[in-house]
Amino acid sequence: MRALSFIVLLIGYSATSFWAHPIVPAKKSPNASHFLRVSVSPLIGFYSVNKNHASAPTQRMSGVISIRHEIKLDRSNKVYFLYGGEYLLHGLNFKSYYFKPDSLPLYTKKFEYNYGLYIQEANIPLQLRMSFRNERNAVISPYALIGYQLRMLTAAKLQVTQNGNTIRNETADMKFKTPLLHSKINSGITLAVGIQKNPINQAVNGFLELTYRYNFSPYYFEKSYAASSLFINSGFLGLNLGLRF
C-alpha cells in the first residue's frame, strides 16, 4: 500500500508540474516545453518458470495505464525526458505441485494442479524519447524511446484448482529474487518505437507506441503447499495508445 500511495503522489506531482507550465487550451504554444502524456496499453506477457517445479506457463489478461510528464530538452523539438507513474496488472497460469498438510513433499515432476496468479505493480518510468522530425512543424513524427523503470510489487491474487475444483483462493506475498533496497522493489528497461500526430495549432496530440518491457529479476511467492524456488521470469510486449496535452 505504501508503494501504491507513493505512485499516486508521483502521478499527482507530474500533473501539477504540467499545469505549472500551462499550454493555451485552444492552441499549442510554439514555446511549450512541458507536456502530459496519458496512455493505456494491452500487454502480451512472455513468462518462464522453474522447470523443476512447474510447467506450461500461459498469460492471463494484462495491461498498463501510464501518466508521464514530458520535458523538451532541445530547441529542435526532437529530444524529450519523461517521468511519471504507471499501474501494471498482469498474470499467468501454470501447472505445479500441491503438498497437502502433514504430507511429505515429493518432487516427482508430475504437475497435477493448476495455479492462477494475478500481480499488481506500481512502476516509476524514467525515459528518453528521440523524435526523427521537428514535432513543431511535422504533422506526423516517428520516434524511438528508451527507458528505465523502477518496479514495486503491490498486491497479488493466487488460485489453485484441480479438475475444476478450487482448492485455494487467497492473496500471495510476491517478492523479487534479487531485490533492490526492498524485497518488493526491482527494475527493468523499456524499448519503444512510435508515431505521434501533431495537428497544427492544436493543444492535443495522439500517439501510438509499440513497446517491449524487459524485467531484470524473477519474482516468487512462498506457500506451505507450494514448491520452493518457484521463480517466475517475465517480459511484456504492448501497444500503447495515448494522448499528449
> Which tens digit of pLDDT belongs to each residue from 78-92?
999 999 999 999 999
Longest pairwise C-alpha distance within the chain: 71
- Predicted pLDDT of residue 109: 87
Q: How far apart are CA 90 and CA 45, in angstroms?
A: 8
> Phi/psi at 202 (nearest 5 deg)?
-110, 145
User: Is 2-244 a CATH 2.60.40.10 domain?
Assistant: no
Report the percent of the chain where pLDDT is more than 70.
88
Q: How far apart are CA 65 and CA 95, in angstroms?
A: 29
> Which tens digit of pLDDT belongs to each residue from 228-237?
889 999 999 9
Q: How far apart are CA 30 and CA 135, in angstroms?
A: 10
From 36, 31, 108, select the one nearest 71 (Cα to Cα): 36
> Phi/psi at 23 (nearest 5 deg)?
-110, 140
Which residue is it, cell 499545469?
A: 19
E strands along the chain, which residues? 34-49, 54-59, 62-72, 79-96, 113-131, 140-162, 165-171, 175-176, 185-197, 205-215, 219-220, 232-244
